[in-house]
Amino acid sequence: MSTENEGTPVPADPAAPSAPPTPPAPPTPTPRPAEETAPQPSLEKTQETAPQPLVDTAPQPTPQPAPESADEPTAVQAPVPAAAPAPATATAPAAAPAGGWPPPPPAVPAWGAPHEPVPPAPGAPRRRTGGLVAAVLVASLVAGGIGGGIGYWAAERGDNGFSSTTVSSGQAPASFKREPGTVAAVAAKALPSVVTIQAKSGAQEGEGGTGTGFVYDQEGHIVTNNHVVASAADGGTLSVTFSDGKSYDAEVVGRAEGYDVAVLKLKDAPKGLTPLPLGDSDKVAVGDSTIAIGAPFGLSNTVTTGIVSAKNRPVASGDGSGGSNSYMSALQTDASINPGNSGGPLLDASGAVIGINSAIQSTSGGFGQSQAGSIGLGFAIPVNQAKNVAQQLIRTGKPVYPVIGATVNMNEKGQGATIAGQGSGGTPSVTPDGPAAKAGLKAGDVITGFGDHPIDSGPTLISEIWTHKPGDAVKITYERDGKTGTATVTLGERTGDS
């Protein structure tokens, strides 16, 4: 769609002096042919072009000197539309001879072009200058009506009437240097170490998906989410594509469903891989800048920015009742994260990884990458936890989870995590001689604090437990029969996903 400029006829200048009564009327101006009418400029969506001045190259009659008079100034005609008819008079005077007084009015250029005043004839009396100034003032008002024309007309026009309003930045993009710490500089450094993962299942239908990962070490290990590669873990295929377009086949080294972390290895890893530096997620503060890189909806190498909106946000990837759900005490960010960002790095302002983007909250409710697009509530696994899991998977191929040795209710929320009356399959809810039993906890106790963090539900308790390692001693606050008690639990361990 283009927008056409519309011209408005210029009225005669009321301040201009009237013509003497005796001289004959000027000849009727001949309308300009259609082919000489300048086309109206149009505004295109992709390019803006400055309106070009139109110069009337038709020769103008040479004005004759006015009769010698000391008290009667020479009148200057105000510009009028080219097609305007001559004014009607009672008696039509004879046409003035060529070169007679007054000269024919100059043709009015198309709207949007500076008006060109008629230059004075050589040797004309200096008292005609005042009239020329009046004509220039009229022209400047017309140009001013189209936006700042007087400066453009006077300062920018060349001798040949062509000018340009293009402004140069003074520095070509190729030579522009981004300072360290800017988003552009961080992204440029990190993108070569971020990959897009294509996972295809071994089923005949070839189901799969797209996710993201990043280079963990120079040996070719790639860290991502478990849910990115789960469909290809058993008999499927995995391919990894770098930002330069080069692709490599990969295989799963290990997966941790509960943590939603997986490690891949390139089958023919290239030399010179650059791992992303790992930050310290424990030192992240709310309000810190964040940069997310991933392939939302398959759009590889997409960079988005935001801040850390919250810390220690308990998040379950499902509804909290399934055995294969993942839990995290997440970093919350408002950086745009969408399906396909899963497994990608969440960076701080220095370019260090502080988390692995894993889940989003949508207006339809629930967490996970199967939901609608980002509404500014994204969640990332803290890198300190992801690092411990990745190292364990690289060493043994199996995840290790810290446990308290008690079954808690996963459906109640708001009052704490209640130790169930009975465990799975009729087993005791508190494992005999387990960590909770040794700390004196019993069925029916409501755990309300774990370390320095309040507990409002079973998923929140698991999220906090999994931020620790087996063998860690943690203070637990609980309620029993309306009374508050404390105990210290030394965490046990469970190997593999059950």
Q: Which residues are catalytic?
A: 227, 260, 342
62, HSE (Cβ side, Cα atoms, 13 Å): 6
First to last CA, the chain: 61
Which helix (H) or strand (E) covers residue 347, if one does?
Answer: strand 345-347
Q: How far apart are CA 461 and CA 302, in angstroms?
A: 34
Residue 102: cis peptide before it, omega within 30 degrees of 0: yes
- Candidates 353, 357, 354, 384; CA nearest to 369 is 357
Q: How far apart are CA 273 and CA 219, in angstroms?
A: 8
Long-range contacts of 85-93 (CB under 8 A, 24+ apart): 85/28, 86/25, 86/26, 86/28, 87/25, 89/25, 92/25, 93/24, 93/25
* Under 8 Å between Cβ of 104 and 96: no
* Under 8 Å between Cβ of 326 and 260: yes
* Under 8 Å between Cβ of 180 and 341: no
* Under 8 Å between Cβ of 318 and 411: no
Q: How far apart are CA 417 and CA 419, in angstroms?
A: 7
Task: Write down the H helix ranges in 146-254.
Answer: 149-151, 183-190, 226-229
Residue 380: beta bridge partners?
A: 331, 357
Classified as helix, coil or strand, 188 is helix
- Candidates 234, 200, 194; CA nearest to 213 is 194
170, HSE (Cβ side, Cα atoms, 13 Å): 0
Q: How far apart are CA 153 and CA 151, in angstroms?
A: 6
Classified as helix, coil or strand, 463 is helix
Long-range contacts of 241-246 (CB under 8 A, 24+ apart): 241/195, 241/196, 241/197, 241/198, 241/300, 242/192, 242/195, 243/191, 243/192, 243/194, 243/195, 243/300, 243/301, 244/192, 246/270
Q: What is the dihedral of CA 80, 83, 84, 85, to 10 degrees?
A: 140
